[in-house]
């Protein structure tokens, strides 16, 4: 009896149907970018200083320029000043008192302004930015700066907990149900987050997004790879991940056009309501239907694929088809199978390590772009663009050179770039960005290749029976730490 892959080749391995489904599902990958790295723009921390009541009136009365006002009223503003003092401390001075002069107003209070008592920013902060972020709206600076890290950690905890259930939902109820359910919750959570009245509510909705968003991305990844023939799976898997870089580029443009974080959040969330049309546009995976013994439905979908591709219909005995051949007698593989033999244990631990390092370094380099001190939008764009040559490199070399050498060289390239950045001065901005982009290209190659070799290193009963569970399990082990 022919296998599912044989039938796919007969009805068209990558015909019009698969191309249409691929372009449709790729939107999921692009929409995942604002959730995964949106903190760069949503949580941007601009230069800031304490709000001092009375300073504005004094500055207007004295006719000070902006530089003069800052020099007279902000402690630690000189070249040797402490950044924390400049941003988080203020002079304990009543700026409304009439005794203050216009030339060095603090001279009448003490002979040395450094001896003046300093206090916390009890009246809030002034931010040097035309837009807004969660930092400027909820004052997540100085003593509350840790809340920005908590915001991103909340997403990663959502990735971790969501991955625990996504594999079960996809295998128990189907790829399509998992896809529709996760995208709907993701969209609603994203919109509600844009209207969050408080930091706590915003954190909750961001956590919900993390809980389902990676599941929708993975469901789309698995669904498209199960639609195409075996000769095209590597290509669509790489291109699906490359569309994530398209989402990064679009995110830069939207963030530049909408510097207000609430409008930005709405702009990246509202269009995802269109994913509800997947109910009519994307069918269920025939492979999953066969695994559930719903052969008639699988046969109808295969016939639909053949019709779209203008190919002959599947064989008449397809309704009696069984996946037993594909799982070589083991119908219920479990997570323990990943550690059953020394050979499998070695592969599993290597992949766990690769998932961990690639997740941490990839997200760390993205965060570095947001804290480099240059033009946030240009720096982020440069780092996003290097993902395209990384994807093309994999497509061109994976079948010619193999997996091991590109994977090893790319890891070395990313590691060397990160190590070099330790010794680079922050004043050498362009050199820092160039080295970071080299590291970003290397770790992007690693990330994409790990997804490919993830299933290839395992025997048939683990690889084919429940392909989603293997990838989800390995991602679960590292997603909790990806934002560390």
More confident of the two residues 463 and 388? 388
Residue 455 pLDDT: 65
Q: How confident is the model at residue 476 (pLDDT cuts 50, 70, 90)?
A: very low
Q: Can you tell me the mean pLDDT for 310-337?
A: 62
Q: Which single residue is written with the structure tokens 């890290």?
A: 149
Of 177-191, 307-321, 441-455, least confident by mean pLDDT is 307-321
Contact 90, 121 (CB under 8 A): yes
Partnered with residue 260 across adjacent β-strands are 132
HSE-CB of 276 using CA atoms within 13 angstroms: 8
Residue 166 pLDDT: 79
Residue 104 pLDDT: 76
pLDDT at 38 over 70: yes
Q: How confident is the model at residue 147 (pLDDT cuts 50, 70, 90)?
A: very high
Rounded CA gap, 362 and 373, in Å? 19
Q: Helices (DSSP H) in 292-399: which residue ranges?
A: 295-309, 342-370, 376-385, 387-397
pLDDT at 164 over 90: no
Q: To which CATH superfamily is domain 333-484 assigned? A: MFS general substrate transporter like domains (1.20.1250.20)
The DSSP symbol for 344 reads: H
Q: Helices (DSSP H) in 228-341: which residue ranges?
A: 233-257, 261-269, 278-281, 286-291, 295-309
Q: Which single residue is written with the structure tokens 């949106």?
A: 38
Mean pLDDT, rounded, of the chain: 82
CA angle 196/202/207 to nearest 5° reads 140
Residues of the chain with CATH 1.20.1250.20: 1-45+137-326, 333-484
Q: To which CATH superfamily is domain 1-45+137-326 assigned? A: MFS general substrate transporter like domains (1.20.1250.20)
Rounded CA gap, 365 and 373, in Å? 14
Give, rounded to a whole angstrom, the gap between the first and last alpha carbons of the chain: 50
Contact 257, 171 (CB under 8 A): no
pLDDT at 218 over 80: yes
Residue 478 pLDDT: 42
Token reading at 67: 């530089």
Rounded CA gap, 262 and 255, in Å? 11
Encode pLDDT of 368-405 as tens digits.
Answer: 776 666 788 888 898 889 889 988 888 888 878 878 88
Rounded CA gap, 343 and 88, in Å? 55
DSSP SS3 for 417: helix
Residues 6+ apart with CB under 8 A from 316: none
Rounded CA gap, 415 and 398, in Å? 21
Mean pLDDT is highest, among 191-195, 210-214, 314-318, for: 191-195
Contact 449, 406 (CB under 8 A): yes
Token reading at 471: 């990838």
**pTM for the full model?**
0.84
Q: How far is CA 392 from CA 40, 68, 337, 396, in A?
A: 26, 53, 34, 6
Contact 389, 397 (CB under 8 A): no
Of 335-344, 350-359, 396-405, least confident by mean pLDDT is 335-344
Backbone φ, ψ for residue 120 (5° rounding): -75, 170
Q: Helices (DSSP H) in 91-145: which residue ranges?
A: 134-138
What is the gyration radius of the CA atoms in the chain, in angstroms?
A: 27
pLDDT at 320 over 90: no
Alpha-carbon 88 to chain mean position: 31
- Parallel, antiparallel, or unpaired: how do β-strands 48-50 and 90-91 relate? unpaired
């Amino acid at each position: 009896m022919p296998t599912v892959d044989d039938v796919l080749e007969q009805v068209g391995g990558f015909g019009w149907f698969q191309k249409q489904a691929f372009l449709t599902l790729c939107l999921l990958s692009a929409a995942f970018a604002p959730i995964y790295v949106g903190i760069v723009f949503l949580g941007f921390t601009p230069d800031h200083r304490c709000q001092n009541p009375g300073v504005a009136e004094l500055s207007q009365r004295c006719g000070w320029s902006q530089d003069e006002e800052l020099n007279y009223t902000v402690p630690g503003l000189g070249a040797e000043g402490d950044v924390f003092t400049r941003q988080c401390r203020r002079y304990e001075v009543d700026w409304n008192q009439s005794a203050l002069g216009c030339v060095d107003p603090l001279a009448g209070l003490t002979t040395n302004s450094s001896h003046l008592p300093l206090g916390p920013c009890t009246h809030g902060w002034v931010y040097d930015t035309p837009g807004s972020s969660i930092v400027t709206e909820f004052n997540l600076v100085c003593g509350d700066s840790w809340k920005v890290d908590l915001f991103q950690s909340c997403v990663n905890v959502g990735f971790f907990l969501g991955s625990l259930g996504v594999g079960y939902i996809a295998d128990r109820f189907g790829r399509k149900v998992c896809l529709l359910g996760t995208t709907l919750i993701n969209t609603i959570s994203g919109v509600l987050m844009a209207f969050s009245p408080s930091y706590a509510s915003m954190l909750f909705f961001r956590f919900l997004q993390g809980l389902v968003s990676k599941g929708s991305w993975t469901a789309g990844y698995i669904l498209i790879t199960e639609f195409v023939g075996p000769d095209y799976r590597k290509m669509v898997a790489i291109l699906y991940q490359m569309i994530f870089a398209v989402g990064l580029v679009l995110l830069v443009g939207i963030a530049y056009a909408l510097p207000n974080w609430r409008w930005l959040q709405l702009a990246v969330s509202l269009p995802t309501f269109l994913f509800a049309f997947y109910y009519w546009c994307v069918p269920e995976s025939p492979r999953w239907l066969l695994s559930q013994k719903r052969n008639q439905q699988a046969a109808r979908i295969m016939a639909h694929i053949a019709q779209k591709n203008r190919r002959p219909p599947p064989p008449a005995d397809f309704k009696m088809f069984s996946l037993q051949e594909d799982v070589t007698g083991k119908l219920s593989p479990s997570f323990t199978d990943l550690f059953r033999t020394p050979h499998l244990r070695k592969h599993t631990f290597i992949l766990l390590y690769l998932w961990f390092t690639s997740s941490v370094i990839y997200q760390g380099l993205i965060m570095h772009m947001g804290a480099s001190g240059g033009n946030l939008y240009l720096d982020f764009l440069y780092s996003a663009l290097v993902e395209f040559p990384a994807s093309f490199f994999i497509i061109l070399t994976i079948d010619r050179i193999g997996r091991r050498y590109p994977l090893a060289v790319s890891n070395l390239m990313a590691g060397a770039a990160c190590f070099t950045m330790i010794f680079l001065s922050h004043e050498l901005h362009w050199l820092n960005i160039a080295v970071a982009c080299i590291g970003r290209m290397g770790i992007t190659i690693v990330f994409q290749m790990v997804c490919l070799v993830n299933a290839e290193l395992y025997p048939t009963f683990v690889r084919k029976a429940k392909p989603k569970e293997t990838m989800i399990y390995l991602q679960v082990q590292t997603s909790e730490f990806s934002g560390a």
